Structures are given as C-alpha cells and as structure tokens.
Amino acid sequence: MADEDKIKRISASDQVFEALQSQISSGVLKVGDRLPSEGELAERYGVNRLTVRVALQKLNALGLVETRSGSGTHVIEFDFEAYLKTASRFYAQGGMMKNVAEFRNHIEIECARLACERATGEELEELGRLAQAHRKVWISSGDVSHDVWCRLVADADMAFHEQVVRMAHNPLYVYAFALAREPLYEYLLFCVSKWVPELLKNFRLDKHRDIHYSIYESIKKRDFAACQSDYAAMISSYTNASRSMPVVG
C-alpha cells in the first residue's frame, strides 16, 4: 500500500460526526433516541470530550439532533424545508456557489488528470463500483421520501469524488479535499434538493446523462480530454441547478 493511501486527512471531530451521521441516516439511531453522553461517546471513539462536542455541534447545525438542557442530545426529525431556506441564503448571499465551483474546477479536475496517469486497477474497480452505486440511489427516487433521496444521492456523489481525489496519489490534495468536505457536501445536497420529485419521475439516467459513469470510463481509458469535458459539464450543471432538471446526473 502506498504511503498516501495510509494517511487519512480528516479531523477526529469529523470522523465522529460522520460516524454519528451514518447511524442516524441508516436508522440505527432513530428520531427521539437519546445519544450517549459526551463522556460515553469520547470513550467509545477514543477521543476527548471537546472533539465530541464539536461533532455534536455540527449535527445540531445540520438539524439532525437537538441538545436539550438537562436531558442530553436527541435525534430529531430532519426539517428539509428549513435546511433549504438556510442553505439558500448561505449560497446565494455568500457567493459560496462560485467558491465551490472554482474549487472543484481547479482541485478536482487536476486530481482527475493525475488519476488518469496514476490510478491502479483496483482503484478503478472501486471508482466503477461507486459510479454504479450513485446510479442505483439516483433511480431510487420513487422508493424513498425526497429528503432521504437527496441525502442518499449527495452521499453517493461525495464518495465518488473522494475516490477520484485519492486516485491522484497526492496527500496534499486529499488534505485539501478533506478540509473542504463539509461545504462541498452541503453544496451537493443543496443542488440535488432543487430537482423536485415531479420532474424526477420523467428523468432517467442513460449513457448520455450518467456523467459519473462517463467520468469513470474516461479515467479508465486514460483519456483526460474527455474526462475534463465531462467533469466541467457536471460542475456547470450542478452550479446552475434550478427547479428544472440538470443536463446530466
């Protein structure tokens, strides 16, 4: 295993946050459940209480839990509409859409270029699996509620792009992506949330629209020109997301 593969450039608080978020989204922790105390969580994950507190603050900010004085932290019903209102103000007024698009165009596309040169066969197989996983959750829109669908798609989308970054075999790019992970994830969730259920019913991924699988195939063929074109189209489609459907998925 290469040295860069051994380095996980993500803070301890982010790891605790992701572990708890995963338990909530998968239903291990249900609405109304009380989370273990900060001390218990610190012992479970082998971190200090401040690390746990930061993770819980992120869960509170996302609207997944609520900390009540005297009774601890409880899982609450995710208020998707409230999230959209907050995210809309954040991205529209703060210029974050432009910032994220610039980050993706520079960092992710460069990682894709390096991946075309450096990716191993095993890494390419994993990227293909993640592209298929993204397609699978995308077409599940009729099986789950819209807010759950949006989070599943954002999770699958993020996993795919994290793999592209890892395949660049540059630990500094992995570190940069990890630092930007939270706003990137919220950006993805915000973008996919705009594709309403009524439109999704008539939108199906095919070989012309499944841009993630196209990116995978381009990297597999070591064709950076095609990969760059696909990546730029995807970023543009997400950045310009409106209540109409994207050009690509």
CATH assignment of the domain containing 59: 1.10.10.10
Q: Average pLDDT for residues 211-223, to the nearest whole number?
A: 95
The total of other beta-carbon atoms located within 10 Å of residue 1's CB is 5
Q: What is the residue-averaged pLDDT of the chain?
A: 82
Total domains, the chain: 2
CB half-sphere exposure, 158, CA atoms < 13 A: 22
Are both 93 and 29 inside the same structural domain?
Answer: no
| Same domain? 49 vs 122 | no
Tell me, yes or no, whether 67 and 96 share the same domain. no
Residue in 95, 116, 98, 91 with CA at minimum distance from that of residue 230: 116
User: Does residue 87 belong to any structural domain of this protein?
Assistant: yes
The verdict on residue 44 lying in a domain is yes
CA geometry: angle at 98 spanning 78 and 181, to 5°? 50
The percentage of the chain sitting over the pLDDT mark of 90, rounded to a whole number, equals 33
Give the domain-ending residue among 63, 78, 93: 78
pLDDT tens per residue across span 166-206: 999 999 999 888 888 877 888 888 888 877 666 666 666 65
The boundaries of the domain holding residue 216 are 81-239
The stretch 103-110 carries a mean pLDDT of 94
Q: Specify the residue for token string 């998968």.
A: 26
pLDDT in tens, 122-171: 999 999 999 999 988 888 777 788 888 888 888 999 999 999 999 999 99
Domain boundary among 50, 78, 106: 78
pTM flag (> 0.85): no
Q: Which residues, at least 6 apart from 81, have a Cβ–Cβ distance to it below 8 Å?
A: none
CATH number at residue 218: 1.20.120.530
Question: What is residue 7's predicted lDDT score, i.e. its pLDDT?
Answer: 41
User: Do 74 and 88 have their domain in common?
Assistant: no
Does residue 114 sit in the same domain as residue 65?
no
For 17-67, write each residue's pLDDT tens digit. Answer: 888 988 887 788 888 899 999 999 999 999 998 888 888 888 887 778 888
Of 78, 97, 130, which marks where a domain is finished?
78
Within a domain: residue 248? no
